[in-house]
Structure 1
């Protein structure tokens, strides 16, 4: 039982030592940041997925309109000129360039502009009858192309003998004495530590009387009278 316990502890220590060594090596070589597209990169797609709400009866209709084409929902005509979305390495968002026209309301001007899926309040269709939202982009990739991911190299830390992780403590050196050597932890038998000089004579202790005899008070000092 004791042999198994010792073997288990040794394996645990070996595993911890290996993890520490691998962590030190990784810190000395540097850690490459994750490969991501720039924030301004958008990828074109061939379809736009839109959601249309009829405010009179609360009916929702999901439309998939090809880029360059149009669709009709009741009296609303929906045209899509472009649809772009962010790559998977960035925060999800999609935008569509739409042309909206309600034939039942000829006095209202048509809507021509961009709508964003994650920021619907930036541009809205101000119709009292219909509400249009962009859901996402679908289909095959088209222009503009996101392009290849940028190449990222791991930084190499020069002159890092003892790497210190962020938020950790720096290695503390041992204190040294005034002569330049290390401070001894225990007094040396050849060089004992001198004691502080005493300011007065140590009081003498009178020998104890033998057992059975009464104690006699000491004689008074004539100088104290």
Structure 2
């Protein structure tokens, strides 16, 4: 239900001409470790995963507006801790509004920068 709400808000926020989306080959995700204030950019392909600290980020898909590859990207991410079966985060994340559907983790934060084309 939450995913449906977030996606409907994303679609309503986009201009009518930009509602058609194209899939990128992956995404660039910025990762922040709050403990030591280090920032890392992770390039993840669609269907692939990457490790950051004790978390695994899996990217299912990254999309961007048709005709505007530098436009507002949104990606479906799943974030899991090593010792937990339940994901820390699962859902769509919008590049221009990372707080709309943010990762709730005490040490790490992630947000989408752009899709890879």
Interval of TM-score (by shorter of Structure 1 and Structure 2): 0.7 to 0.9
Are 2:91 and 1:113 equivalent residues in the alignment? yes
1 CA distance for matches of 2:57 and 2:95?
A: 16
2 CA distance for matches of 1:131 and 1:123?
A: 12
Structure 2 counterparts to residues 36-185 of structure 1, below 5 A: 38-88=17-67, 92-103=71-82, 106=84, 109-139=87-117
Question: What is the TM-score of this pair, normalised by structure 1?
Answer: 0.42
Aligned length: 102
Higher relative contact order (CA 8 A, sep 6+): 2
Secondary structure, in 3 states, of the residue corresponding to 1:121?
helix
- RMSD of aligned residue pairs (Cα, Å): 2.3
1:112 is displaced (CA, Å) by 1.0
Instruction: Answer 1 or 2: which has greater strand percent.
Output: 2
Spell out, residue by residue over 1:112-168, the C-alpha distance to the aligned partner (whole angstroms, 9 max, x if none).
1000000111100100010000000013xxxxxxxxxxxxxxxxxxxxxxxxxxxxx
Structure 2 unaligned residues grouped into runs of 5+: 1-15
Runs of 4+ in 1 over 6 A off after TM superposition: none
2 CA distance for matches of 1:72 and 1:99?
A: 12
Secondary structure, in 3 states, of the residue corresponding to 1:43?
strand
Computing the radius of gyration from Cα coordinates, the structure with the larger value is: 1
**Contact residue 69 and residue 80 of structure 1 kept, 8 A:** yes
2 CA distance for matches of 1:136 and 1:91?
A: 7
1:89–1:61 distance in 2 versus 1, CA, 3 Å: closer
Q: Which residue of 1 is the match for residue 13 of structure 2? A: none
2 CA distance for matches of 1:92 and 1:101?
A: 28
